[in-house]
Structure 1
Amino acid sequence: MTETDRPAAPAATEAAAAETAAVLAGIGQRIRALRLARALTLQELAERTALSVSMLSLLERGRTGPSISTLVVVASALGTQMGELLAPPAARGEGPVSRRADQRVFVDGNGVRRRVLKDDDSLGIEVSLIDYAPGPSGADDQMTHEGHEFGVVLAGRIEVMLGSRTYTLNEGDLISYRSDEPHRVVNTEPETARALWLNIRKGQE
């Protein structure tokens, strides 16, 4: 049996589950805080997002893992960026170093694990390291938001759908596109894929 064939140790599995639960709880707390700060009821937020009240309630209580597209929709309805839901302002300092311990991790229900390496509001830049579980994994639907994106594949292979076009990217390949163009990223391969993504929210015009 090789190292890669060995199942995860129970302690490691429990640690990952605990980290995931903590991340989901943090996201839910920030959604609720922003909703209350804007004097919105769950019903009003549901109407703005086309999500059910029960789904939003589960999100706020950290009982479900939202997809990236869901977070984008909720963030937009709350008048903020997705990064605001993933990490509180205090964790997104302006210092030159982003420590791993301070980086927020988001795990959704579609096999996508996103580590926000840096989210600089002053520059309008977000850098994320994303792991896509063995396929099929990735966003359910195409999404749009503000900005421009650059992605480079570090390991494995991913498919990027831009409108009606599909691009297959292998290790070392880079893709860039306007974020207001409908897009979706998936991994259809039997191995985990990893990519580094840079989103520039400003200067799109």
Structure 2
Amino acid sequence: MDNQIGEEFKRIRKERKMTLRELSEKSGLSVSFLSQVERGISTVTFTSLRKIAEALGVSVNFFFEPEEDTPIKKRSLKKSADQPNFTYTSLAGDLDQPKFTPARIELKAGESQTAPYSHQGEEFVYVLEGELKVMLEGHEEILYPHESLHIDSTKEHTWYNETDKPVVLLVVSTNEDGRD
């Protein structure tokens, strides 16, 4: 497995003088899992990566290759990060403190981290392809292509792919303080 994400989150964690136990408490993920991700032994789902990013106080975009430095930010699928469970493509521009973060996410077949969680901000999810299972405050629903969801992220939720085909999403998220 390409361990770029694990190495990067370890670097940030150490910069913040945070132990694995502290990161575990903030993210809700086990110490052993976080340690395995840092060492490249275990893969991370998009949901887990989002929990780690939030606990470290950075955007999910932070873990992926930056675009070239120009004033006009065109986004294409060429700069995506391909992980075993998902592909993430940032569609964000070059703003210092964006109020929202757009991304194209492909959840691979069977990507099914189903433990609900909550965090600051809002999420808008639009299904481009496939079927996305959504849980919001104990209620389950399936979103099909061209259906969307806009929620207050402080409510317990999760979304995942338990089908045998990929699900492609347009996701726009924000945090209460204007940073993602």
Shift of 1:138: 2.8
Shift of 1:125: 1.6
Aligned to 1:114: 88
Shift of 1:50: 5.2
Deviations 1:121-179 (A, max 9, x none): 51232112122333x43323112111111111111221211112222211111111011
Higher Rg of the two aligned structures: 1
- Residues 152 and 172, structure 1, Cα contact 8 Å, conserved in 2: yes
Aligned partner letter, 2:64: A
- Is residue 146 of structure 2 the alignment partner of residue 172 of structure 1? yes
What SS does the corresponding residue of 1:27 show, helix, strand or coil? helix
Name which structure has the greater RCO, CA cutoff 8 Å, separation 6+.
Answer: 2
What fraction of aligned residue pairs are identical, expressed as a percent?
24
Count residues in correspondence: 177
Partner Cα distance (1:45, 1:92) in 2: 31
User: Superposition pairs for residues 1-205 of structure 1, below 5 Å?
Assistant: 21-22=1-2, 25-49=3-27, 51-84=29-62, 86-87=63-64, 91=67, 95-100=71-76, 103-105=79-81, 107=83, 111-118=85-92, 120=95, 122-134=97-109, 136-202=110-176
TM-score by length of 2: 0.78
Shift of 1:93: 6.3
RMSD of aligned alpha carbons: 3.0
What SS does the corresponding residue of 2:154 show, helix, strand or coil? coil
Partner Cα distance (2:163, 2:21) in 1: 40
- Residues 159 and 169, structure 1, Cα contact 8 Å, conserved in 2: yes
Bigger drift between 151-160 and 92-101 goes to 92-101
Aligned partner letter, 2:72: P
